[in-house]
Amino acid sequence: MPADALEEEISRAFGEMLSARSDPPEKGEDNPPNATHNDPPANSPSGLAPTANDLSDSPASAQSLSLCQAVEPLFKVLDRDAGAEEITQLKNSLLEEHEQFMDQLPVAILPEYARSGLRTEQEADQAMYDAKEFSTTNLKGVADFVTRAMRLIDAVKEHSERPEAASTPPTLRPSTASSSTAPPPDLTQYLSSALNRTKTLTSTFLKAFGGDWVSREMKRALQGNLIYLGSIAMNLSHRLQSTPESSPDYRDLQSSFGATLLSVYELTHDDRHLDAAVGAVSLAFSADAEGILSTTMVKVRNWAYSQRLLARRDQKFELLTDAVNVCKRTLHTSRSLYPDASDNFYALSLELAECLLDRYRAFGEVQDLQDIINLPFASGSDGDMQDVQTLCVLSEVHLKLFLRMWNLDHIDKALFYSAHLSDLDEPLIGPLPNPGTPPHPDAVRGLHVLALVRAQRFKVVMDVEDLDAAVTHARKAVQKCPEDHPMYALYVTDLALILHQRFEADEDIKDLDECVERLGIAAHLPIAGTYIHYPAKAAYGLALASHGEHTEDLREVDEGIRQLQLARRAFPGGAHLEAQIERDLATALFYRFQLSQRAEDLDDAIRYASSALSRAPADDQRRAALGLELGQNLALRARDDGSSRDADTAIQTLRAVAENPGRASIRLDAAMEWAQVASVRGPEATLEALEVALGILPLVAWAGNRMVVQYKTLVQLSADVGPWAAACAIACGRLEDAVAYLERERNVLWSQSLQLRLNHGTGPASTSAKPAPSVELGALSSYLAKSADGLPEVTPGMREDAAKRNPQLAQTVERLRAVYEGMRAKAMAHPAYRPGDFDRIDALKSVVQTIQGDASLHGAAKRWGTLRATLSQLGDDASGLKSSGDLHQNASLAGLLESGDVVFLNAHSTRCDAIVLSRTPDDAVTFGHIPLPGMSVEEIRGWADAIQVGLYDLQQGGMSVRDFDEVVMIPILQGLWNSMAQPVLAHLNQHTQRRPSRVWWCPTGALALLPIHAAGPYDGDAPGLPELVISSYIPTLHSLLRAHAGASESLSMLAIGQPDTPGQNPLPAVHKELTTIQRACARVSHAPTNMVGSAATVHAISSALPAHTWLHFSCHAHQDPAYAFASAFFMHHGPLRLGALIRLDLSRVQFAFLSACLTSAGDERLPDESIHLAAGLQFAGVRSAIATLWTVDDRSAAFIADRVYGHLMREGVGEPDPSDAAEALHSAVGALKAAGRPMIFWVPFIHTGR
């Protein structure tokens, strides 16, 4: 990153300090002992940052004073770019924001790597930490770093303006170790210039950041410069020739000479360099065999380095074990003998880690990775975070542990370490410019590691942007690596595999074409350490087979299988890698079976999959995916030939995958496949598998993932667990279990959101009366609930609104923005500025914020789950959810059913049924069963699709209103009447003690997208559901019970109207609706609160909603087809999204009228989740709502509103009663229908809830 890009980063850093931070902080760097300024270290108890005693019992004023002192050096530096007034405002803003911090926050929300800022180790072990103290310490660290960095800018600029040497060096040719030929004159001139530049830069960075980091980083930078290395090697060669072997310095010079040649070998891969290096470092190492000297660690490190490179070249990986053992013994002994040799200790530890990493690649023993994690350097102190080799090692180690164990802690750490590699394209400090020579191996390796980590992150969050970033980084690694470099084939192979992964995600054939092309090249290239890497030939075979399967080219699949077989026979590596080859071979054979239907291909696929499973390490989580594929193939063969033996083996294999810990999505797939195999043995056998699947389902929508990830996962799985389990339970006569299964499967996302909301009620509001675990649980619940949907969108209009609410703050922000823009303009005017610097910094900032946010969510969710389980065992029902127990004797449910009946409509491919919950004379709950043989899942889906197509044609002018009624709606509503409504009504008339008047419908699957309430014969005057019953909808029975149990509140109306929303069509009837509400409220002597036009901003509405008990929305709305939680009401300054609504507490709201389009449209991909605006309000606490299934006419909406409010206000006689909302809507819709209005005008209006 160039100096001016750093200046932009600094500008951003102080700007970000305006807002309060409870998220994981960036780490400040300690002040070096030889720094030129006098600021104390960021975490020093003797410095300006407050100590534990300063903050624990001190008043707020004392804390504020400490904060001022902590950032005072930064303000002094900023004086040159900002006036005194701006600096004063910045101080005041920081103090004001700081005072808003909560006193205590859960330690679990801090990623593990961010907890070093806690006051003590003891505090890190506690559940809660002092947030204000933590923020002060962190801000002090940031301020110190920014102060030093801004001073550094001037020094680097001054240096960068000096004229550079114009000569261009020739490429250094490989030479023997004994060569004493001096470099040619032009090379010497260039080298002199380069080293002078290095000296100046080193001096500059020493003053700013200290010696240890700079010396290590500059050494790594110089190791990538052949000119420098050649000069050092020749110098050492001359010194060796003039130094007697008996001299104490001789072996040190010999070891240094060998280490230099090893660095040269990593750039040239000339075997002569490696052979000479091995000889030199081995002789030097053997000279210390009799004892440990102060330089022994250096010699051992250099010798182990040579053994690692030799093991790769010669495929002799037993050399790694010798190197590991010697390094471990030397470290153990040297720690006590030479405690001050920190640099040598660090270098030897890092080389030990490299040897262990290579040994893991070769043999797959996970203990080698654990040993690396336990090394002191792996703790990751601030200085070490800038060392590229360290970052590469730690990123790779945690990535491999994640792949092995699927522990999200490891992917979080891999992302954290690899994020620091993002500037490897154009680093501020790195290898010296050297045209004609290879790049430093660390630079290419870092890009390669970064690509692998981002590709694996996709598997966690399913964001294609991760794959795009992975492809970009992998391409850069390939471009930077010379084609004759031994690692080139590996980099090409991994780029191709990431392209294949992206093809599987979005099915762009271009990615698969490029994958095949690149692997075709890589398969014929040599690769260093073939034994420890997945062979390119095998990857090429799988890519060919995948391409052939996609294009239905059998010959291409055949060639892919041949390449895989060749790779398997020739591979000399470990069993863990051979298992991967066999798995891919099984996959390719299955592709051929799909195209050819040859039974022997399926047999071979099963054989290779079984072999792969037996070879895979027992603790490898990838065994689950292997077991799933094997089980699926066995199940397929069992279905084809009726083999009970294959069916038994398939069930055994799939059960093992489903019941053991691992990735929830794979476990769920295995359970569902197990159910398919067991289905031929009857419903009881099927239910055994489906009950396991129901237990896994909440894990798929884990609170540690953002809601968008949960949503994408459920869409991808599209598991039909609940309806299938209910169908099996009905077949077994277990109606109550069927209802319980539907309740467990439906609304998984909403249920988790509700748990977090109820847990939040146990939070820190009254901590003195609660046990510590409950306080922590409440704080974690609040954090998870607020973080689940990410940061809220901020539009320019929202900023405008904020400025109006707080003009003084707006002026401060504008002044600071002017300072920021001035610094930005100065940076852009500098000759060293490169276009795209700011974009790169913004992208890095976004990545770091995202990965830290993800890590924070993961840690908080794990702790939240542990606490809930613990409190449950202690008898503290922390979730607030009470078990319904025996529904037959549930008094709350029986009381609810006094007003009407609940009808579950279950549709599955095996059968369709209705279950009716009614109340008996003795106040018990009875379950009635109505088979629906005239209905099928295929027909239901066809009806739902037909309505969507009809609505689209109607809106586009391709269909008339009359045709929509006659061609689309009437046939569907007649079908619903004949196959479902009529049988249900017949049952109600026969089995209930009263004529049915109120029915709550709870449909499953695509039935949730249909207007069940409008079903009827539509033959003359024959009545249908609109005439016979008052219909309401519920997403779950539990949601209805919650609404029924809520406390009553008096009328407090909030009416929101948007007649002219920017960017939307005008709604002229909005004013009429608001007038209707005004008139209706006047009848009961109530004055509603109106928020209309520009007054109806997102912030204003969000603040007002919880304080009112009746809500009316008259505006545009939108059901987002891509991500249902992005559905929104359109307000004046931007959208009020569903994701924001569900974070509100609307438990006081008795009734809401959503006079807008598509407020109950539902999600076609997840109909059982009921993800729409009406459901969101209901789960936020609203007890009863009127909503719309599709687009509505605003005049019809105004008519409905007039009738509904007239009914609810009882024409001014008596108190308003929101529990009559369903009846009021029934009456209003009936009036429209009786007036002969087309269905498009009255069918969309529905009632949900109580």
Instruction: Name the burial class of residue 173, with classes exposed (0-12), middle (13-18) and buried (19+) by CB atoms within 10 angstroms of its CB.
Output: exposed
Q: What is the pLDDT of residues 221-255, one digit of tens each?
A: 566 667 777 777 888 888 888 999 888 889 989 99
Q: Are 776 and 126 in contact (CB under 8 A)?
A: no
**What DSSP element (H or E) covers 529?**
none
> Among 166-180, 688-702, 745-759, 1046-1060, whose mean pLDDT is lowest?
166-180
Question: Rounded to an integer, what distance in angstroms lies between the CA atom of residue 781 and that of residue 1052?
Answer: 30
What are the angstrom distances between the C-alpha of 974 and each of 520, 967, 1013?
A: 60, 12, 12
Least confident of 231-235, 560-564, 1151-1155: 231-235
Q: How confident is the model at residue 158 (pLDDT cuts 50, 70, 90)?
A: low
Q: Which amino acid is at 950?
A: G
Q: Evaluate if residue 794 carries a pLDDT over 60.
A: no
| pLDDT above 90 (res 305) | yes
Backbone torsions φ then ψ of 1144, nearest 5 degrees: -85, 155
Q: Which of 369, 360, 401, 351 is nearest to 533 (CA)?
A: 360
Span 578-606, average pLDDT: 95
Per the model's pLDDT, the better-predicted residue between 129 and 1198 turns out to be 1198
∠ CA(110), CA(445), CA(584), 5° rounding?
90
Q: Which fold has domain 887-1033?
A: Nucleotidyltransferase; domain 5 (3.30.420)
- pLDDT tens-place string over residues 604-657: 999 999 999 999 888 899 899 999 999 999 999 999 888 899 999 999 999 999
Q: What is the pLDDT of residue 285?
A: 87
**d(C-alpha 633, C-alpha 592), whole Å:** 13
CA 876 to chain centre: 31
Range of lowest pLDDT (107-116, 714-723, 954-963, 1122-1131): 107-116
Q: Is the pTM of this model over 0.75?
A: yes
Residue pLDDT, tens place only, 674-683:
999 999 999 9
Q: Rounded to whole angstroms, how far apart are CA atoms 926 and 932?
A: 19
CA distance 663 to 652: 18
Using CA atoms, how far apart are residues 116 and 121, in angstroms rounded to an integer?
A: 8
- Neighbour order of strands in the sheet with 901-907: 925-931, 912-919, 901-907, 998-1003, 1030-1033, 1245-1249, 1184-1188, 1151-1155, 1110-1114, 1053-1057, 1089-1092
pLDDT given for residue 678 in this prediction: 96
Which is nearest to 773 in space by CA: 881, 882, 880, 872? 872
Residue 1101 has pLDDT above 90, yes or no: yes
**pLDDT tens digit sequence for 169-217:** 333 333 333 333 343 334 344 444 444 444 444 444 444 434 444 445 4
One-letter amino acid at 499 equals: L
Task: Identify the band that residue 575 occupies on the pLDDT scale cut at 50, 70 and 90.
Answer: confident
pLDDT digits (tens, 9 = 90+) for 861-891: 888 888 887 776 555 443 333 344 467 777 8
pLDDT of residue 839: 67
pLDDT at 30 over 70: no
Query: How many angstroms separate the CA atoms of 767 and 779, rounded?
Result: 10
Chain length of the chain = 1250
Give the model confidence (pLDDT) of 898-947 as tens digits.
889 999 999 999 999 999 999 888 888 999 999 999 999 999 999 999 99
Q: What is the pLDDT of residue 711?
A: 85
Find out whether 138 and 25 touch, Cβ atoms under 8 Å: yes
Average pLDDT, stretch 547-555?
96
Distances 742 to 169, 730, 738 between C-alpha atoms, Å:
74, 12, 6
430-439, 1011-1020, 1075-1084 — which is least confidently predicted? 430-439
d(CA 956, CA 62): 67
Residue-level pLDDT at 601: 96
Residue 366 has pLDDT above 70, yes or no: yes
Q: How far apart are CA 467 and CA 499, in angstroms?
A: 8
pLDDT at 529: 59
Q: Where in the chain is the domain with CATH 3.40.50.1460?
A: 1039-1249
Question: For the chain, what percent of residues have pLDDT higher than 70?
Answer: 72
pLDDT above 60: residue 462: yes
CA distance 313 to 1110: 76
Answer yes or no: is pLDDT of 672 > 60.
yes
SS3 per-residue string spanning 304-364: HHHHHHHHHHHCCCHHHHHHHHHHHHHHHHHHHHCCCCHHHHHHHHHHHHHHHHHHHHHHC
Q: What are the φ and ψ backbone dihedral angles of 1003, each rounded to 5 degrees? A: -85, 155
pLDDT beyond 90 at 352: yes
Span 931-990, pLDDT tens digits: 999 999 999 999 999 999 999 999 899 999 999 999 999 999 999 999 999 999 999 988
Phi, psi of 1155 (to 5 degrees): -85, 70
Higher pLDDT, 187 or 695: 695
Quick one: pLDDT band at residue 748, thresholds 50, 70, 90? Answer: confident
Query: Is the alpha carbon torsion for 548, 551, 552, 556 positive or negative?
Result: negative
Q: Where in the chain is the domain with CATH 3.30.420?
A: 887-1033
431 pLDDT higher than 90: no
Q: If you average pLDDT over residues 839-847, what whole number do you get? A: 69
Q: Where in the chain is the domain with CATH 1.25.40?
A: 185-406
Please tell me the predicted confidence (pLDDT) of residue 27. 35
Task: State residue 63 phi and psi, 5-degree precision.
Answer: -65, -45
Whether the per-residue pLDDT at 565 is higher than 90: the answer is: yes
Task: State the architecture of 185-406 in CATH terms.
Answer: Alpha Horseshoe (1.25)
Burial of 569 (0-12, 13-18, 19+ CB in 10 A): exposed
CA distances 222 to 263, 434, 840, 1023, 1172, Å, are: 10, 11, 25, 89, 59
Strand 901-907, strand 128-130: pairing = unpaired
CA-based nearest residue to 1057, from 1111, 983, 1008: 1111
> Quick one: pLDDT band at residue 423, thresholds 50, 70, 90?
low
Distances (CA, A) of 313 to 139, 167, 265, 529, 623: 49, 36, 11, 6, 31
pLDDT of residue 1: 37
Read off the pLDDT band of 439 (50, 70, 90): low
Q: Which residue has the higher pLDDT, 196 or 413?
A: 413
347 pLDDT more than 70: yes
1039-1249: CATH, from 3.40.50.1460, 1.20.140.10, 3.90.105.10, 3.90.550.10? 3.40.50.1460
Q: What is the mean pLDDT of the chain?
A: 79
pLDDT computed for residue 864 by the predictor: 87
Cα(623)–Cα(630) distance, rounded to whole angstroms?
Answer: 10
Which of 370-384, 455-469, 1132-1146 is the least confident region? 370-384
Of 314, 389, 331, 379, residue with least CA distance to 357:
389
Residue 991 CB-density burial (10 A; 0-12 exposed, 13-18 middle, 19+ buried)? middle
Q: Helix H segments across 997-1142?
A: 1025-1028, 1037-1045, 1070-1082, 1098-1104, 1138-1141
Pairing of strands 998-1003, 901-907: parallel
For residue 1082, pLDDT over 50 is answered with yes
